[in-house]
Chain A
Amino acid sequence: MSAREANIYDRYTAGARVNHWANAIIMICLALSGLSLFHPATFFLSDLFGGGQWTRIIHPWLGIAGTLTFLGLFVRFVRFNLWNRDDNAWMGSIRHVLSGEEEKVPEVGKYNAGQKIVFWVLSILIVLLITSGLALWDSMFREYTTIDQKRLAAVVHAAAALGLIMTVIVHVYAAIWVRGTVRAMTRGSVTGGWAWRHHRKWLREEAARQR
């Protein structure tokens, strides 16, 4: 840490940031193309992808790319997202978290319980989406599932996608609301004050590592 300011802490490597943003861009394209086929009110979004035909052709390939890039994130971050006793305590004071009274919230490590829930909800929904998505990919795999299975897959796919979009909105909002968070994913680092305020146990671990 000698070459950098002492009160800056590394949070994400360049590889993790590239992986995150590759996934984010693909997920946004997936949401826009998926929504265009979901409701007449959003059909105009298909023009972003070259019309309805192209949207139908591109969407499943984006789904493959989105799953693979998410798999990269999963492998990178799963060990930091295992649930522990701190998370129950944090959830117990969720009211203070939402009202911004963070001094009343128990200390947590690299991720708080809210972030872990986002991580696991996204992981589960993406498994549901890719599984049902393959069943719906008629131009590739039509003969592998029955029409009734495809009907079920359509409901699961739509419901999971809606859940995923809502979860991502929460994820993005939290990053904007909690100031100093976005730089973790754009520059890779956070300030000591940010770590002290939101992830105090992680701050101690990082400080100890720099000794």
Chain B
Amino acid sequence: MSTLQSLDIRRRSATTTPSPQARETLEVAKLIDISRCIGCKACQAACLEWNDLREEVGVNHGVYDNPLDLTENSWTVMRYSEVEQDGNLEWLIRKDGCMHCDDPGCLKACPSPGAIVQYSNGIVDFVSEHCIGCSYCVRGCPFNIPRISQRDSKAYKCSLCSDRVAVGQAPACAKACPTQAIYFGSKRDMIEWAGQRIDDLKGRGFANAGLYNPEGVGGTHVMYVLQHADRPSLYAGLPANPRISPLVEIWKGMLKPIGLIGIGLTALIGFFHYVTRGPNEVAASDEAAADRERERVTHS
């Protein structure tokens, strides 16, 4: 949803030449400490508020999740999982939304130049005025995050409040969180702070506590502190080893050069066949032979 702003672009969709690289800026990250989340949805409300979004008034589905899924308006939703293990009941609440992958599948899949950008601080942003509504980003994303609006056929997702970050503010959700379950800062600081939180959790008996910063997508700029980092799927199906689908890699990788080269070669082979062999022309003798053949057939 970015518009004009003062962030440097590191990568740009459907662009084959590099973006300006000279300026180096701080890599940022949001750290969501699930062990501190109380599920109040202040972050959801703050997201709607800051981004001038309004969610449709829904109905109660009998669960806390509301709305049930991400939408073009709800760029973040709380997902509530009741997990029973070792005789304990745990209520695991995960704030779902864009993970801002370092290797973003959406950006790789997007066919429209500049409709998806990655800033040098790591934020992945949709530039909606260039979005053509093809939903390739939905197929590229390993976390099933982007949503296409029925009203304007544009793709929407969390911008990590790139407009706020551009002026030195933390994202709206981090600002609103009453228990400081959402931190925002440099990625290095966030990893360090996560380490302290994980030590604390381990001291309290969560032996498998750990940081979720999956390598398969080059790491993410939204990370989780999980009590059970050995089993991310407990948290409403968080993928253990997310990566861009191999099908998307083929489609957006080797198929592109092979395709264009194949088309060009086919045309070139034709051209050089013509200039070496010349046209295949009907000779006068062919016409005469055809006449004779017709005579023969008609009078037999």
Q: Are B270 and A102 in contact (CB under 8 A)?
A: no
**Is residue B61 contacting chain A, with contact meaning CB distance below 8 A?**
no
Q: Which of B77-134 contact A (CB under 8 A)?
A: 111-113, 130, 132-134
B232 to chain A, nearest CB (A): 19
Q: Are A177 and B290 in contact (CB under 8 A)?
A: no
Q: Are B293 and A41 in contact (CB under 8 A)?
A: no
Q: Are B280 and A179 in contact (CB under 8 A)?
A: yes
Q: Are A52 and B132 in contact (CB under 8 A)?
A: yes
**Chain B contact residues (Cβ within 8 angstroms of A): what range?**
35 or more
**Is residue A210 contacting chain B, with contact meaning CB distance below 8 A?**
yes
Q: Are A207 and B289 in contact (CB under 8 A)?
A: no
Q: Are B290 and A203 in contact (CB under 8 A)?
A: yes
**Is residue B267 contacting chain A, with contact meaning CB distance below 8 A?**
yes
Closest to B133 in A: A56
A177 to B283, CA, bound (A): 14
Q: Are A41 and B287 in contact (CB under 8 A)?
A: no
**Is residue B297 contacting chain A, with contact meaning CB distance below 8 A?**
yes
Q: Which of A23-63 contact B (CB under 8 A)?
A: 36-43, 46, 51-53, 55-56
Q: Are A162 and B259 in contact (CB under 8 A)?
A: yes
Contacts of A200 in B (CB 8 A): 293
Q: Are B259 and A158 in contact (CB under 8 A)?
A: yes
Contacts of B19 in A (CB 8 A): none
Q: Which of A80-113 contact B (CB under 8 A)?
A: 98-100, 102
A104 to chain B, nearest CB (A): 13
A155 to B255, CA, bound (A): 8
Q: Which of A161-179 contact B (CB under 8 A)?
A: 162, 165-166, 169-170, 173, 176-179
**Is residue B167 contacting chain A, with contact meaning CB distance below 8 A?**
no
Contacts of A98 in B (CB 8 A): 273, 277
Q: Which of B251-300 contact A (CB under 8 A)?
A: 251, 255-256, 258-260, 262-263, 266-267, 270, 273-274, 277-284, 286-291, 293-294, 297-298
The interface of chain B, by Cβ under 8 A from chain A, is 14-16, 111-113, 130, 132-136, 138-139, 144, 148, 153, 245, 247-248, 250-251, 255-256, 258-260, 262-263, 266-267, 270, 273-274, 277-284, 286-291, 293-294, 297-298
